[in-house]
Structure 1
Amino acid sequence: MKYFSLFIFLLGSVQLFAQPEATMYTLSGVPQHVNYNPAFVPNYKFVLSIGPGSVHGHYSNSSFAYSDLAVRRGDSLVADLVKFNGALNKKNYITTAGDVEAFRLGIQLSKRLYFNWTVGTKVFARQMIPQDLTSLFINGTSSFVNSSASFSPQLEATSYLESAFGASYKVNDKITVGGRVKILRGIVNASTENSELTLALADDYSMTLTGDVNARTSGIQNADNGDVKDYLKNKGLAIDLGATLKLTEKLTVGASLLDVGAINWKNDTYAYTLDPSVATYTFAGVDLQRIIDGDEDYFDAEMDSLESKFELQEGATGGYRTPLPGKMYFNASYKIKKQITFGALLFMEKFQGRFHPGLSASVHKEFWRIAGVSVSYSAINKGFGNLGAGFNLNLTPFQFYVVGDNLLRMPLSYLANGSYEKFASNVRYFNVRAGMNFVFGRDRSHEKKAYNQRKK
């Protein structure tokens, strides 16, 4: 029963994985801006963060919102399962992510070279809900007669430590290039190499259930007895690459490729498998006569047979390798005035063969040297109402910032409706990042250049 329960748990487990951030990319006054293109150079010659220099949380899903499931009828909140099922795609992904930057050091070594070093921890996950699964519970089995329903659970959950060393180099007045090397130490992982659960329904309504699973974990099976040193066995490496090109005095374009790499898992590695030749069960229907005759063991026997066939086989296994979710950014920024910049951003993430694209438009305003404010509009996850916002406050040597995608909709929803309920029930994409830095030596070279040009 233990492993049958674990199998059911795997079908519904939350899978963490990160998606790109849009608004943070525009907040150029914050040193963490360099995380999204290693060719970027902060406005300060020296940056130091010790403690929560950056804390980030993310949530999104690819198809539905809470309002598709729960609807208000009068004073009551009821579940509308038909509406919910209609809002689903064939495969539906709920994603969450988080990271904490514990340390950052940034130094302008010369007029051309900027160096940065960061240390932090990250976690990412994803949950896939197949529409066939909800259709079976909502609409019954009639729609699957002489066909099959595929329930294909996948699991990819990872947490790891990251130490990143990066540099940007100004080739000339127009071109800047940059890169970062990331040393990774995996903490915990659960991944599914293969997973199929198929229900075939014949015209006589007999049902055949077949399973085929190959899942792996690291750092979970013996977590209670684990040693910190054991987790250092999970080594990985990743790189970031980026470049910017200044086409005119006002127009700049940039591109970056992030998190190209993988982690090799060696600590406490276990495999969980189902052999499809064994994990198959046909349910021909209910024998009413046996129920009438008072056969109390009838259903228990059926369930025991089902459980025995779908019991996960587990055992220690060798090491395995998992990739990180790779991210790509392409941006263009146009400075219409000295302190106002318009931006356009195309971003996407590739993970396990699936692309997650998005588009964003933004405006960023600098308020002298004291503050910076960004607002953005993003189209992502088939959602077209994502209003982002961010600001940084510079009280040298302290700098504080808060930024997020779809963050602006929260206060707007409250002003319009007197509560956050409408926002919470319709949100499909949301992330927020906040932190504090110590900053010194603001770079004023561009200010002096603009001043000299005005004098001419």
Structure 2
Amino acid sequence: MILNLKTKILSLCFGFIGFTHVAFAQSDLSFYHLGELTPQNNIFNPVFFPDADFYVSLPLISGVSTNLNNSFTYNDLFVAIDGTDSVQFDTEHLLSNINDGDRLSFDGSISLLQVGFHVGKAGAVQLFANERVKSRLFYPKKLLQYLLEGNADFLGQNVSENNLRGQGSYYREYGVGYSHELSVLGEKKLRVGLKLKYLQGFIQAEVDKEAAVSFLTDPDTYYVNISTNNSVLRTAGLDSFDNSDYLMSNGNNGFGFDFGADMQITPKLNVAFSVNDIGSINWREGIKNYELVESEATFGGMDLRDLDNAGDVLKDTLEQLFDYREFEDEEFKSKLNTRVFISGSYKVIPKGTVTATVMSRNDLGDASFTYGLGYTHYVGKMLTVSGSISKKPKQGVALGGAVGARFGIIQLYTSLDNTIGINDIRNMNNLNVRFGVNLLFGRRSEKKEKDSQEKIKSEKSKPQKEKFGPFPDEYDLGHLNDSEN
């Protein structure tokens, strides 16, 4: 039985369901460790530009990415029944694998268009448009434990939960980026870059960060006293998604920017730094907000003998217990989740580079860190492969790989950030996949190499300045050294 919207809203406030916030939060370090091989690597640092004079990334086929992260796996939910080929839901096993602060997240992106070209010898311009879907839900462990294990172990105890955080968003970004190369500290090369983005919002749903609920079980009657504060669910665009005009343009917009830099410390050592997704979206159109009125209610249970009507029973129960109000005229703002990348690359062999990376991400006000170490190898001018090991928050170690191949003007690439569990999906708690096709024209590296050779040749061909001494030529005694030898 499908619950109606109001029932979903009430359930969301209690932690039964949730959506999450705008953030391009992929931690796909295997793809990052490809360096600036593809135009799509520009999402990590505005200075990254592929080895081309000009490139075009076509709609849809050029950039598709999906990222699913969870703190537990299928095998944490279900365990095998001895002597059978069946499984059963194991509450204790599930709860033992969940910690406060764990989250379920999904991120997806589709490239609509990307174009890049050089301006002179030092500058580069990039234009882009992307569709982005982001979501995050923080698990309320105490509440889950109370609901899954029952209230028998909590008689007379007040069980409270104030970690009912969750947000979800769908938006489009249009942007332009510019990077420039400078010579500093002698011959060291420093590149700096900036991307400006116009954001068009379509759907947003978020639970107020102050949302809280508590349960107190009467030890005599086993009735549950439920207390809530003024929890608020803010939404925009949920009723407008089937409107084609709304999906082309609406009043939900905002601005964002990225900036970054990298510097060649030595011929073998390079460091990079970037800050991405700084900005926000103002939601003004298609708004429907719901506030759960602060109250207390006593819950004596539900009659679920008729499972076909379980949805209606839950709906009626929630609406009888709690009051809420709906208001449509209150605009709100959602911030982008900022990411910071710091990395250092060292060329260990002429065709091989080792890169160490730290990524920091802001998840609904909480900072999380991902650490990675990767090796990238260049097989001629056609093939590039990358392997990485990374440690994500609340998860174990993951092995990933990426590959890019160029055939003339056509470039193919793909990456997978968790190869350990790919042979058994039941043991996977995160999956990050990217793939796409680009058109690259020319090779910038060949022109730089040619210019460097011409510079060396030009310096050698310059006439040497004559040496001047304090004495006339007839006083030159150098021949005496020659005669002694």
Distance in 1, matches of 2:204 and 2:313, equals 36
Distance in 2, matches of 1:343 and 1:301, equals 56
What corresponds to 1:4 in structure 2?
7
Structure 1 residues 5 and 244 mapped into 2: Cα distance closer, same or farther (>3 Å)?
Answer: closer
**How many equivalent pairs are there?**
429
Deviation at 1:138, TM superposition (A): 3.5
Aligned: 1:198 with 2:214? yes
4+ aligned runs moved over 6 Å, structure 1: 300-303, 449-456
Deviation at 1:388, TM superposition (A): 0.8
- Once the two structures are superposed, residues 343-384 of structure 1 have per-residue CA deviations (whole angstroms, 9 ceiling, x without a partner) of 000002103211221100000011111111111001003333
Structure 1 residues 54 and 222 mapped into 2: Cα distance closer, same or farther (>3 Å)?
Answer: closer
2:102–2:394 Cα contact (<8 Å) kept: no
What corresponds to 1:438 in structure 2?
439
TM-score, normalised to structure 2's length? 0.82
Distance in 2, matches of 1:175 and 1:301, equals 65
Which amino acid counterpart does residue 172 of structure 2 have in structure 1?
L
Distance in 2, matches of 1:344 and 1:365, equals 15
Aligned: 1:13 with 2:55? no
Distance in 2, matches of 1:454 and 1:376, equals 38
Deviation at 1:14, TM superposition (A): 4.0
Which amino acid counterpart does residue 185 of structure 1 have in structure 2?
Q
SS in 2 for 1:67: helix
What corresponds to 1:297 in structure 2?
none
Which amino acid counterpart does residue 23 of structure 1 have in structure 2?
S
Counterpart selection for 2:32 from 25, 39, 60: 25
Pairing 1:16-415 to 2, within 5 Å after superposition: 17-19=23-25, 20-28=27-35, 29-52=37-60, 53-61=62-70, 63-73=71-81, 74=83, 75-151=85-161, 152-172=163-183, 173-193=188-208, 194-204=210-220, 205-212=222-229, 213-224=231-242, 227-228=245-246, 231-276=249-294, 279-283=295-299, 307-406=319-418, 408-409=419-420
Structure 1 residues 111 and 140 mapped into 2: Cα distance closer, same or farther (>3 Å)?
Answer: same
- Once the two structures are superposed, residues 296-341 of structure 1 have per-residue CA deviations (whole angstroms, 9 ceiling, x without a partner) of xxxx999967532324321212211000111110000001122111
- Once the two structures are superposed, residues 178-224 of structure 1 have per-residue CA deviations (whole angstroms, 9 ceiling, x without a partner) of 11001110011111224222212355444210223211111113545
What corresponds to 2:474 in structure 1?
none
SS in 1 for 2:212: strand
What corresponds to 1:416 in structure 2?
none
Distance in 1, matches of 2:248 and 2:412, equals 37
1:363–1:375 Cα contact (<8 Å) kept: yes
Distance in 2, matches of 1:171 and 1:260, equals 25
SS in 1 for 2:251: coil
Structure 1 residues 374 and 303 mapped into 2: Cα distance closer, same or farther (>3 Å)?
Answer: closer
**Equivalent pairs: percent with the same residue?**
25
Unaligned runs of 5+ residues in structure 1 are 287-299, 414-419
Deviation at 1:389, TM superposition (A): 0.7
Distance in 2, matches of 1:302 and 1:81, equals 22
1:324–1:351 Cα contact (<8 Å) kept: no
What corresponds to 2:482 in structure 1?
none
Whichever structure has more strand as a proportion of its residues is 1
Structure 1 residues 252 and 229 mapped into 2: Cα distance closer, same or farther (>3 Å)?
Answer: closer
Which amino acid counterpart does residue 192 of structure 1 have in structure 2?
V
CA RMSD, Structure 1 to Structure 2 (Å): 2.8
TM-score, normalised to structure 1's length? 0.86
1:15–1:127 Cα contact (<8 Å) kept: yes
Unaligned runs of 5+ residues in structure 2 are 303-311, 461-485
Distance in 2, matches of 1:159 and 1:260, equals 17
Deviation at 1:108, TM superposition (A): 1.1
- Once the two structures are superposed, residues 418-440 of structure 1 have per-residue CA deviations (whole angstroms, 9 ceiling, x without a partner) of xx3x3x12222221111111101
Distance in 2, matches of 1:54 and 1:349, equals 22
Structure 1 residues 322 and 376 mapped into 2: Cα distance closer, same or farther (>3 Å)?
Answer: same
Pairing 1:409-424 to 2, within 5 Å after superposition: 409=420, 420=423, 422=424, 424=425
SS in 2 for 1:85: helix
Larger radius of gyration: 2
Structure 1 residues 364 and 316 mapped into 2: Cα distance closer, same or farther (>3 Å)?
Answer: same
Deviation at 1:453, TM superposition (A): 12
Which amino acid counterpart does residue 426 of structure 2 have in structure 1?
S
SS in 2 for 1:51: coil
Distance in 2, matches of 1:192 and 1:138, equals 22
Distance in 2, matches of 1:72 and 1:303, equals 34
Deviation at 1:443, TM superposition (A): 1.4
2:24–2:132 Cα contact (<8 Å) kept: no
